[in-house]
Amino acid sequence: MFISKVPSEFLTHRLDCPYYHPEAMKLDYKFREYGNMKLLSQIISSKRKITNGVRGPDIQASQYCLIRLQDCQHWGINFDNCLTISEKQFNENRRCQLFENDIVVAIGGYVGNASIARNVKLAVIGQHSAVLPYNPNGYYDERYLLAYLNSAIAEIQFQRYVSGSIQAGINLEDLRDIPIPIPNKLAQSYIGDKVRLTERLRTRARQIELFINDKFSFLLANLKPKSKSWRVHRNNIESYRLNTSHYDAVIVDMLDKAKKQIDLLPLASLFGKRGISGGATPQGAEYPEKGIFFVRVQNVKPLRLDLSDAAYLTPAQDAELKRSRCQAGEIILSITGYPGVAAVVLEDDLPVNINQHSVRFDVCQGWEAEYIAAALNTTFLKMQVDRLAIGGTRIALDYASISNLLIPVFPEATRKVIAHNVAISNRAIRESERLTTAAKLLVEALIEGKLTEDELKNAQLSLEKGAREPDKAILSRLTRKGIDVKDEPPLFPDIDALYEIIDQLDKDGEEEI
C-alpha cells in the first residue's frame, strides 16, 4: 500500500493508482530534469509499426522460425532451437517479421525483457512479445536502447503500465508511450559499445564450442540407428546392472568403436589428491544476500558456473559443509536434474560450495581441468551418462557411475589446445556478463545524474583514439548494486583482464582456434 500526492501537471489520462506509484513519480521528476526525452514510438522506424506477434501458431517443419520469449536470452535471439511454422502463417504475419537489429521486447511474462536480432533468419515473433523496428536513420544507438530497455529504470516504467488479472501484460498503445532518454550520440555509443563487446565475446565462445564439438565428433561417426528393442548376450550382462539403458545398442556400439580408435580412461583414474566429494543443503536452507557462493544445479552450465541466479551461504553454513568446499581449477559435475553437466571453478567464483545435486573433484597432475570439462560436456559423454544414470522418480549418477565415465585420451598437445580455448571461452562469457550489467548501470547512472554525458562522451572519444584511462576510471566505479556504492565489491575485479580478452578479439580480427 502507498499514498502518493500527485501535482496536477503530472496527471494524465490514467486514473489507476499503480501508474502514480512513488518510484514511478520519482522517475518522472528525473526525466523532467534530464530534459531530452522521446517516446518509444517517436524514435523507431516510421516505415514499420511496433506490433505484437503470431497467435495460435501452426507448428510444422519449415524454414520459417517462430521466436518466443524462451528464444530470447542474454539480450540476443537464438534462431537455432526455435519452433517453425507454416509458410502460409508466416506470410500472413509479415507485419511482425524480424529484420537485422530489430528489438524484441516481452509484453507478457517478464514484461520489458528485450533482445536484439542478429544474423536474422526468416522469422516472426510470438504473441507475448512485440517487435521494435530498427531505424537506421534514427538519432539513437540501437544497443543503447537495448541497454535502457533492460535497465531497472525502464523496468519501473514498464510495470506502471502492466494490467490484466489473469495474465498480466502491457498493451501496444502503452508500449509506444514508454519514455526514452536520448543522450548525445557519443554517450549512446559508449554504452552501446559495451553491448557490442558482449556480442563479440559470446560469438567467440560459440566458435569455441563448435571447435570442441568438432574435435570429438569422430567418436559419433557411423553409429547404429536407434531401435526400440535390442538383444544382449548373457555373457555381457552385468549382475549389478539390469536397467535396459545400460545395454542400449547404440551406446554400446559407440563405445566399442571408440576403443578401436583412441584410448579411454575411467574418470576415477584422473581424480587428483583431493578426490571427489558431494555436497549437501544446510539445515533450514535460508540463504543470505551475500556470502559464499552456493552452487545449485541451475548454476552448473557447460564449462562454467552461472552466477545470475546465485544463492549464498553464511560462513557458519559453509563450515558445516566444509567437505564440499571448492577450489579454483576444480570441476563441479551435476548428478541430478541435468546429470553430466560439468563446469570449471574460476578464481573469481570463489569462495564456492555445492549442494547435494552436484559433486566436486580435482584433476591429477598432467591433465587440465578445462580439457576434462570439455570432454564431459560432449555428446560422447552425455550418451554415457544416459547409459549409467539410474533412478525411479528422478535419474541420477551415483559415485560408481561417475567413476566409470570414459574420457578420450587425446595427444597432450591437442588437450592443451582444447583446454586453452575453454579458458578463453570461460573468460569471454564471464566478461560479457559483466559488460551487460555495466551497460544497464551506466544508463541508470546517467539518468540519476551520477554520470554526465560529457564523461561518457570523453571516454568514448578516448577509446576511439586508443586511450583507455577514462573508460577504466568509469568502469572501476561500478559495482553490481550501482555506481560508487560503498562496501560493495567492484563489478570488474580485474579490468586489465577485460582489456586482455578484448585485445585477443582484436588481434588479427579474431584469434584463430
Helix (H) or strand (E) segment spanning residue 333:
strand 331-334
Residue type at 184 in one-letter notation: N
Residue linked to cell 574418470: 267
Number of domains within the chain? 3
Q: CATH number for the domain including 282? A: 3.90.220.20
134 shares its domain with 246: no
Other C-beta atoms closer than 10 Å to the C-beta of 513 total: 16
pTM of the model: 0.89
At residue 154, does pLDDT exceed 50? yes
Give the mean model confidence (pLDDT) for residues 23-47.
85
At residue 412, does pLDDT exceed 70? yes
Up-side HSE of residue 60: CA atoms within 13 Å toward CB? 6
* Average of per-residue pLDDT values in the chain: 90
The verdict on residue 301 lying in a domain is: yes
231 shares its domain with 337: yes
Per-residue CA distances from 121 to 55, 82, 100, 124, 265 (Å): 20, 11, 9, 9, 42
At residue 347, the pLDDT reads: 93
Other C-beta atoms closer than 10 Å to the C-beta of 272 total: 17
- What string of H, E and C letters represents the secondary structure of 129-193? EEEECCCCCCCCCHHHHHHHHCCHHHHHHHHHHCECCCCCECCHHHHHCCEEECCCHHHHHHHHH
The verdict on residue 197 lying in a domain is: yes
Percent of the chain topping pLDDT 90: 68
At residue 131, the pLDDT reads: 96
At residue 164, does pLDDT exceed 80? no
At residue 196, the pLDDT reads: 97
At residue 1, the pLDDT reads: 53
The verdict on residue 389 lying in a domain is: yes
Nearest to 135 by CA among 69, 173, 182, 88: 182
Residue type at 90 in one-letter notation: F
Distance CA 188, CA 456 (A): 8
Residue 411 burial (C-beta neighbours within 10 Å; 0-12, 13-18, 19+):
exposed
Give the mean model confidence (pLDDT) for residues 311-322.
90
The verdict on residue 29 lying in a domain is: no
At residue 34, φ and ψ (nearest 5 deg) are -65, -45
For 358-409, the DSSP string reads EEEEEE-TTS-HHHHHHHHTSHHHHHHHHHH-B-SSS-B--HHHHHHPEEE-
List all residues 6 or more positions away from 413 whose beta carbon is below 8 Å from its beta carbon.
Answer: none
319 shares its domain with 359: yes
Distance CA 124, CA 122 (A): 7
247 shares its domain with 147: no
55 shares its domain with 97: yes
170-217 per-position pLDDT tens digit:
999 999 999 999 999 999 999 999 999 999 999 999 999 999 999 999
Task: Name the band, by pLDDT with cuts 50, 70 and 90, for residue 438.
Answer: very high
Query: Residue 333: beta bridge partners?
Result: 342, 359
At residue 454, does pLDDT exceed 90? yes
Distance CA 54, CA 51 (A): 10
Give the mean model confidence (pLDDT) for residues 245-274.
90
Helix (H) or strand (E) segment spanning residue 275:
strand 271-278
148 shares its domain with 137: yes
335 shares its domain with 444: no
More confident: 4 or 419: 419
Per-residue CA distances from 139 to 142, 184, 192, 441, 443 (Å): 9, 9, 13, 22, 17
Question: Among 418, 453, 475, where does a domain finish?
Answer: 418
At residue 223, the pLDDT reads: 86
Distance CA 354, CA 336 (A): 13
249 shares its domain with 366: yes
At residue 139, the pLDDT reads: 82
At residue 285, the pLDDT reads: 67
The separation between CA 235 and the C-alpha centre of its own chain, rounded to angstroms, equals 47
Task: Name the band, by pLDDT with cuts 50, 70 and 90, for residue 77.
Answer: very high
Give the mean model confidence (pLDDT) for residues 262-280.
95
Query: Residue 103: beta bridge partners?
Result: 116, 132
Asked if 103 and 135 count as a contact pair (C-beta separation under 8 A), the reply is no
More confident: 229 or 172: 172
- What string of H, E and C letters represents the secondary structure of 85-140? ECHHHHHHCHHHECCCCCEEEECECCCCCEEECCCCCCEEEECCEEEECCCCCCCC
The separation between CA 55 and the C-alpha centre of its own chain, rounded to angstroms, equals 27
At residue 510, does pLDDT exceed 80? no
Which pairing describes strands 83-85 and 59-67: parallel, antiparallel, or unpaired? antiparallel
Question: Among 380, 399, 418, where does a domain finish?
Answer: 418
354-400 per-position pLDDT tens digit:
999 999 999 999 999 999 999 999 999 999 998 888 876 778 899 99
Number of H helices and number of E strands within the chain? 16, 24
Please enumerate, as own/partner, the contacts of 264-269 that have beta carbons within 8 Å and a separation of 24 or more: 264/406, 264/407, 264/408, 264/409, 265/406, 265/407, 265/409, 266/403, 266/404, 266/405, 266/406, 266/407, 267/372, 267/376, 267/402, 267/403, 267/404, 267/405, 267/406, 267/407, 268/402, 268/403, 268/404, 269/364
The verdict on residue 11 lying in a domain is: no
Give me 160's grid cell: 506502471
DSSP conformational letter for 288: -
Q: Give the relative orientation of helices 185-216 and 142-149 as an angle to the nearest 10 degrees.
A: 80
Three-class secondary structure of residue 308 per DSSP:
coil
302 shares its domain with 411: yes
Which domain, by its residues, includes 125? 41-182
Distance CA 91, CA 97 (A): 9
3-state helix, strand, coil in the chain (%, to 5): 45, 20, 35
Task: Name the band, by pLDDT with cuts 50, 70 and 90, for residue 511.
Answer: very low
52 shares its domain with 73: yes
Nearest to 445 by CA among 193, 183, 103, 195: 183
The separation between CA 476 and the C-alpha centre of its own chain, rounded to angstroms, equals 23
At residue 390, the pLDDT reads: 83
397 shares its domain with 491: no
Give me 287's grid cell: 540463504
396 shares its domain with 443: no
Question: Among 418, 437, 471, where does a domain finish?
Answer: 418
Percent of the chain topping pLDDT 70: 91
At residue 250, the pLDDT reads: 85
The verdict on residue 5 lying in a domain is: no
DSSP conformational letter for 346: P
